[in-house]
Structure 1
Amino acid sequence: MLECQNNLSVQVAAFAALCLCSTPAHACPDGATSLVSCPLKGGTKVLQTCLLGDHATYAFGKVGQTPDLHLARPVTDIAMTPWPGIGRYIWEDFTFSNGATSYRVFYGIDKMAEGAGKLTGGVAVEQGGKVLAELYCDLGKVTTSGYPLPLYEAKEAAGQVYSLEAQAWSD
């Protein structure tokens, strides 16, 4: 068991190093699960979030190039709002913090829509409670790992519990 844990720690460290140094903004490293990804701005930019073990990454940048911004965080440091189970839309969002700036990644599925346009997503850049930018995924180009995102299970595996009533995670 200890060997598996050490191997996972090595994989996570390698995952973060790969993403920071050389991985294009549109690819998760081998063994990682893509959470939410999509092209934005007519395909000129890419948003990619990945999960490997107890760490997640956020990458944003030009297609095929080193990301303009890359963040790697333990899942316990990522804020996540799971779908409450009601309404026309199934949605989730999760937030990576970087100092005073946060990057809230979101996606949603319109249960009533017909055709390919029912899955949407994007990222909101926020600072001090203000939205600085909101970028939407190119229509019909959002990919997710499916509902529910494996980030929820990763947070639970790390010892966190979500309270629907409080709308908050606790340790």
Structure 2
Amino acid sequence: MRFFLSALLFTVSALPALACPAGSEVLVSCSLKGGSKALTTCLRGDQVSYAFGRSGGAADLELQRNVREVNMVPWPGIGRSIWEEFTFENKGTSYTVYYSQARNAGPEAPLDGGVIVEQGGKELAHLRCDAGSVQSSGYGLPLFEAKERAGQVYSLETGSWQ
């Protein structure tokens, strides 16, 4: 049921300019700022894409990186919520996309999400997704498996990929 509702929400709210390319999986996507902005992140093979911009228009920023170039912090298995985040770097600016859900909330519970923009360790913006608009492939993000297929191994002890 959750998949159906997520798919329906994505179909209704997604706009072609910021939709995932054919054959891609949605990682985390949502509307922001009352629907005036959109964020879409996708995985296709070993490529991860990020698009942010005005809803209904072309993306203001599009990034594409190999999975090895995108840092990911997987859920460590503890806490009140299940969450994951991943970061794109671009010319000294980082874009950390995240999602979370209350741990025992049930399949109908909405996801939270957003993007944090930082430069030089300073937060420039923290945009939260509009309530009810978050679509995610959910725990565990297929990005984790794609990084493992690319030969990377995540260490819980160091919190880093080797």
TM-score, structure 2 normalization: 0.87
Unaligned segments of structure 1, at least 5 residues:
1-22
* SS of residue paired to 2:26: strand
Kindly provide the amino acid, as one letter, of the partner of residue 132 in structure 1. Answer: L
Matches within 5 A, 1:6-85: 24-85=16-77
Shift of 1:119: 1.2
- The aligned length equals 148
How far apart are 1:69 and its partner, in Å? Answer: 0.2
Code of the residue aligned with 2:117 in structure 1: it is V
1:29 is paired with a residue whose SS is coil
Give me the whole-angstrom Cα distance separating, in 2, the residues matched to 1:35 and 1:115: 17
Q: 2:157 aligns with which of 139, 148, 165?
A: 165
SS, match of residue 77 in structure 2: coil
| 1:44-67 Cα distance to aligned partner (Å, 9 max, x none) | 100000000001000000112110
Q: CA deviation at 1:113?
A: 4.3
Is it true that 1:89 corresponds to 2:81 in the alignment? yes
- Which ranges in structure 2 are unaligned for 5 or more consecutive residues? 1-14
Match of 2:7 in 1: none
Deviations 1:76-115 (A, max 9, x none): 0001000000111100000000011000000001124479
Seen in structure 2, the aligned counterparts of structure 1 residues 115 and 160 have a Cα distance that, compared at 3 Å, is closer
Residue 26 of structure 1: CA displacement?
2.9
What is the distance in 1 between the residues matched to 2:120 and 2:17?
Answer: 27
Alignment RMSD (CA, Å): 1.6
> What is the identity, as a one-letter code, of the residue corresponding to 1:90?
I
TM-score when scaled to structure 1? 0.82
2:128 alignment counterpart: 136
> Secondary structure of the residue that 1:30 maps to in structure 2?
coil
Aligned-partner Cα distance in 2 for 1:84–1:127: 26
- Larger relative contact order (CA 8 Å, sep ≥ 6): 2
- In structure 2, distance between residues paired with 1:70 and 1:24: 14
Percent sequence identity is 59
